[in-house]
Structure 1
Amino acid sequence: MTPAARLSAAIELIDTIEKDRVPAAKALKEWGTAHRFAGSGDRAAIAGLVWDVLRRYASSAWLMDSDTARARLIGMLRLERNMDTPTMAAMFDGGRYAPAPLTEAEQAALASRSLADAPASVASDYPEWLDPHLAKVFGETRAAEAAAMASRAPLDLRINTLKGNRDKVLRSLAHLGAKPTPWSPNGLRIELGADARNPGIQAEEDFIKGAIEVQDEGSQLAALLTAAKPGEQVIDLCAGAGGKTLALAALMQGKGRLIATDRDKRQLAPIHERLSRAGVHNAEIRTPKGEADPLADIRSTADLVVIDAPCTGTGTWRRNPDAKWRMRPGALEIRLKDQAEVLERAVPLVKAGGRIAYITCSVLSEENGEQVRAFVARHPEFSLVPSEQTASVLWDKADAFAEAALKTPEGWLLTPRRTGTDGFFVSVLKKA
């Protein structure tokens, strides 16, 4: 496919996503199935265009003074890819499979309009109803924080220290441009360009042998901040597909007891194969059966209960840009109830002197600090572990991390702008 034909395909896809209200990933998959002539490079380039339009969904429409799929694509090419008008006009030439030529109105908008007078929610591409929520956390820097959350995320990997070490894997993945992550001692990062395909990590020998896992550095840091130790009894209460379970197992060095469960047993499906490939032998999967509590036999014995809480996912907007436009206020209320419920489930599991690590991939204070404060008010036997103490697990990076991340009275908030990671909140509470 020509570059111009890719633009036409992207416009078609954006139009489908808008009109049919389907998730972008689903629309892209269905388009690829229906257009098998498109090669992997074409599909990757078209997907890159679609995701970038969704990242610039509001600002691109403002720039072009139009909210059509075509206008959003044109606006994105200017704002995200810095494409000048002559270059754009050469691709929008009306030729075979190419988009129709730029209209006078489109050229005028490109020449005269900017984001200078746009509201913060438009200029930084987030739903307007979330503005007071972001202002509560970030104040006047909310636009800059949200703009960073609209950028493309790199591909981060975690070294599984049960099977590999970073120096060795760095050498074997040099052909992918892998470099150490700034914070995590076990992280690698592969930067991706606008049209770049995600490298086939699953085909790499290091992945097949279990030496690496795909995991954002923020998620790696969240696991590190739990301070799970060898020999402890650790419960991963919202294990899902097992990303943090695997990281916890590595921290425990295969020693102690690791129990992973999740209310939604469907989410647990991939965890068995992942644990096997990673060489984890001290993990036990508790799959829910009917209404029975899979942890009914555990009372006041856990050293650490990790809650990777269900949340709005505002911290993952870089990877799921369409999710923020589908998010509604009611979703926040539902998640707040879910979080309070899972925190209550953790209480009877923790032994005296044990810990709860509460984690979200959200940047909203309602899901983070406010949720933690409400929990401590209900359970005064739990107290907050000082943020400086939790950060000490980062050793020589602790001071720099403390300057970069946002420290709150309840814990640490990581953001793309501050730490170069997805957005994560981590709070550790200790039982008297």
Structure 2
Amino acid sequence: MNFDDTPEEAAFRSEVRAWIAANAPTHLEAELKQSSFGNMGLKSEDPIAAAKAWQKKKFDAGWACLHWPKEYGGRGATPIERVIWGQEEGAYGTLGGLFTIGHGMCGPTLMAWALEEHKRKLLPAMASGAEVWCQLFSEPAGGSDLAGLRTKAEQATDGSGDWIIQGQKIWTSGAQNSDYGILITRTDPNVPKHKGLTMFWLSMKSPGIEIRPIKQANGQSGFNEVFFNEVRIPDNQRLGAVGQGWTVSLTTLMNERLSIGSGMPTGFPELFDYCLNFQTEDGPAADDRMVRSRLAQYAVKASGLKYTGMRAISALSKGETPGPENSIGKLVAGATMQELAMFALDLQGQAGVILDPAHAEAAARFQAMLLRSPATRVEGGTDEILRNIIAERVLGLPGDIRVDKDVAFKDIPTSGR
């Protein structure tokens, strides 16, 4: 593949660069450049308001959700143009974290499965940043087995056709800031677990929804528990047919792994710069042979991730759907970030325990990265799940033995039974 811009791409890049230079919130640039993984880092103004303002400005000028069709609030741009935008947006792209789940996961699912009237209403509002979305998938009893979910949806007995939702979700990123969500439920416990699921979209302001933020090790609360107590959803908010929820969820999951894996930082550029400037007793850390060896290893991984991501971009440019190979990026990036952060803190020695950005080395970026990195290896599919996907669906290896494959969900034994 030739990574140089074509004349058309160069012209597009020039247009993007000029618009960003004229419209970006430059007063936030310094803070955004110091942001740590999982934290926008804004203190001078409300981060949610700043994110929505930047998204709205992009939307009004036709730069939001570039790859989406124009009728849904996008630009109809090519995948390569989307990459160019991301490269040029730079630190300001951090403001888009609030919308990652909506734009990268919920939006594509709605485009594929929602009613046309709902697409035209919901997607432009999502693209503009006016409405924030989350995805309600994981459950406390399910672990890594999404198909083992127990949140149930039953049709109301009043003849309305509405669905009544009862159950709990967990690890729902951004639920406390969300206006809407996509929800997968169990509608039939009498069939094997993958066949009795149904997907919906719903307002997060619906009566009966309770959101409880979860306090994380890094002091933040980006994840949430969400409880459903007889929440009513109209049948026309169903995505796909009754019992087709697993198929619909695969649309979300494939886009989730592309969105997370292709955009997940490893921290290598920050580590490289840090090693060039960090002074040890023997001089700059980068002068040490062992440090250079480790940097070389991380450089190889970062390069591999970059070009693996370009494969996905090439597939998109040909009109192909994101596939299971996108699990590679998420698997490698998450583990690399954790390992790299630990190495940086080893270099700092006892100073590595300082968490206050005002006093810690490198403004505590590596401390924040280490505390957030375990979550990256769980969200969007655990390392073990991703390895199974790669083994079975990319490499064609035999699948794991599944004793519950043809067993009705209600008959699957659980602990304590």
TM-score class, shorter: under 0.3
TM-score, normalized by length of structure 2?
0.28
- TM-score, with structure 1 as normaliser: 0.27
